[in-house]
Amino acid sequence: MKAVAYRGPKLLEVEEQPEPTPSEGEVVVHVAYCGICGSDLHEYLVPEGTPAPRLMGAMWTPIMGHELTGVVSAVGKGVSDRKEGDPVVVNPGDPCGDCYYCKQQLFNLCIRPHHGIGYTRPGGYAQYLSASARQTVPLPNTKSLKYAALSEPFGVAMHGVNRGGLQHGESVLIAGSGPIGLLTLLSAKQKGAGTIIVSELAEGRRVLAKQLGADLVVDPKNESLSEAVQSRTDGLGADIAIECVGTPQPMADCVANVRKGGRVVVAGAFDRPYSLDLLQLMIQEKTIIGTFGSATELNECAELISSGQVDVSPIVSAVIGLDDVPKAFADLAADRGSNGKILVQPNGEIG
């Protein structure tokens, strides 16, 4: 089969790889769509000379891709609840189900996870992959395959909103409207947020945020974010701010623009330490909350997308083939602000 393999910093190669077969309890999935995630791009951009975890055995598979849908093409021994032809979302996580966190339904924090699709096990930048049957989430039909590929990042965004403890009618500031920021916007709307304010530098992404229902969209380079937030929150500040970029200035904006007693959710992936004035945090009783992956939200988000309750289609900016993946990564590295979610379609149309 054809696959895209990570072979070093800024080096992706289209290769022939062995087609997988299912072990006991597994299925093989004929990949329909796989989204390019910012975390994959982080790995791609590891500086020359820096040890790349994927090449050191920490994450051993060279085939990335963890946001995907497909059709079951083979079923292993002992699998009774999936059959060939079933359209599915693949959950990249495979928690043990037995540890302290799994028993609390916090599957994203599992101590002893079995496999991670696209990390410790070959991912969706390939024509086929194998996965535990329990990692597959059924879809109602193959028409759902394209946009249901956003179920995983939508689940990540929804988990961030849930971690923030959003209450009906509360105001939300979202810093950054890349794919995760836009999905956070849709999550906040789904959970009953009041005023939603989005801060974003890129004009195209500001347009998308407005299209998807933001009440106010601010260009923080040319407008006062503080004045904008104050004007929409009776001078108090937002109840919740969600940082979706992973860089210092948006984080500082979030901390500065939540009200006293407000919450800041860190959803952006920071690749360096961040300095924070803990005295002001203490005096104003603000709370910083981390969020990682999704616990149970992926299934909910797959249902919201496949049922048509939430329309994620505006977030998809391009659909490409496997041969186009190396160039797509290079283009994203050169200008991350110009794209929404790019979907890879390894096999052409399925279904």
> In degrees rounded to 5, what are phi and psi of residue 136?
-100, 135
Tell me, letter by letter, the H, E, C secondary structure of 332-344.
HHHCHHHCCEEEE
Q: Are 102 and 119 in contact (CB under 8 A)?
A: no
Mean pLDDT, residues 222-251 taken together: 97
Tell me how far apart the terminal alpha carbons of the chain are, to the nearest angstrom: 19
* Listed residue (232, 245, 243) closest to 286, CA to CA: 243
User: Reduced to 3 states, what is the DSSP secondary structure of residue 330?
Assistant: helix
Percent of the chain with pLDDT over 90: 89
The whole-angstrom separation of Cα 72 and Cα 221 is 47
Residues in Cβ contact with 191 at an 8 Å cutoff, skipping those fewer than 6 apart: 158, 161, 162, 166, 168
Q: What's residue 296's pLDDT?
A: 96
* Listed residue (88, 41, 87, 35) closest to 66, CA to CA: 35
- 20-24, 273-277, 281-285, 314-318 — which is least confidently predicted? 273-277
Which residues are 31's β-sheet partners?
70
Q: Which domains does the chain have, with CATH numbers?
A: 2-150+312-344 (3.90.180.10), 158-290 (3.40.50.720)
Give 157-189 pLDDT, tens digit per residue: 999 999 999 999 999 999 999 999 999 999 999
* Predicted structure pTM score: 0.95
- E strands within the chain? 2-8, 11-16, 26-35, 67-75, 87-90, 128-132, 136-138, 172-175, 196-199, 216-218, 238-243, 258-266, 287-290, 316-320, 341-344
- The answer on pLDDT for 347 being more than 90 is yes
- The answer on pLDDT for 348 being more than 90 is no
What value does the mean pLDDT of the chain take?
Answer: 95
Q: What's residue 68's pLDDT?
A: 98
Give 74-100 pLDDT, tens digit per residue: 999 999 999 999 999 999 999 999 999
Name the token pair of 279.
């005295």
Residue 256, judged by CB atoms within 10 A of its CB (0-12, 13-18, 19+), counts as: middle
